[in-house]
Structure 1
Amino acid sequence: MKKKTFVLVIIALVTVGFSSMAQRVDRTNFKAGIHAGVPFGDISDFSNFEIGLDLGYHWGVSELIDAGISTGFMNAFINNDTVDFGPVEAQGDFPNIQYLPVAGAFRIYPTYDFKLGADVGYAIGINDGNTGGLYIRPMVGVNISSTTELNISYVKISDDYDFSMAALGLLFLF
């Protein structure tokens, strides 16, 4: 129940924030890209690699700040060896761990080519037994052209276990 309430509060805050910014919007950006990550924390015991899709839409609040929404898809590949994690100890094929993040996003631009920011929201668990959790993704990005961004990020999902990873991503701006 607490998770559903949290998701509804995040969605309400994002909606109110965007409607209040509507008068100040001077630019918009649709962003799509991919990222690859190396898990650590609890998940690193049974996964060595993650790959994902990033989608977002940002509105210019000022020359230095963007705010928006983000989503995507994340898939951590499981090593299908013996799994000994919490109450689970078994052998066999286990599904990859998959999330669909839904978040509010903000970016600060100290210079045109450099940005700092974060996505904060909820990661919906897709595979069986995955309940999802609070999603936090701080990032640093660098423009490598006027329509392409290279970024590094830290992903943290507070689930029944610690899903943490470092990721390198490539975004295309439209």
Structure 2
Amino acid sequence: MKVAFLVATEGIEQVELTEPWKAVADAGHTPELVSTESGRVQAYNHLDKGDTFPVDRAVADTGPGDYDALVLPGGVANPDALRVDEDAVAFAKGFFEQGKPVAAICHAPWTLVEADVLRGRTLTSWPSLRTDITNAGGTWVDEQVKVCTGGPNTLITSRKPDDLKAFCEAFLDALGK
């Protein structure tokens, strides 16, 4: 299976990109880094610059039909930048429209709020997104990982980097490992 990892050009929480990426690759799937621009993206370790990563495809040059699933890493600046990029929002929304699994961690559900795909869905996130998720029609819960199948696709969410092990396991289960 081919899995898109959608990120902005900077502000990605590094461990929320690298740990799910490794889990996807170790399970024999193919991860691809999709971003709002080609080149490299800058990850962070909380507020400190981390590593840079090469972009495989710009979001304007691809679509959800090219992938089997989507991962949205967090970081505060990353999803905030994605939610104002029309191509990125449409890309994320397309996975819901096509019934494909989406996994979002920490602040990443902000992109899904903008895509207007959370009505009737139950999910978790970093606690500060609670009001945004509720206002978008979703139900927010404080759980390590939440798998919601009450919509057109499977939605896997987690709160923070400490939840990554459970997040990765739930996502791989949704892919059928």
- Shared topology, TM-score over 0.5? no
Higher helix share: 2
What is the TM-score of this pair, normalised by structure 1? 0.25
Larger radius of gyration: 1
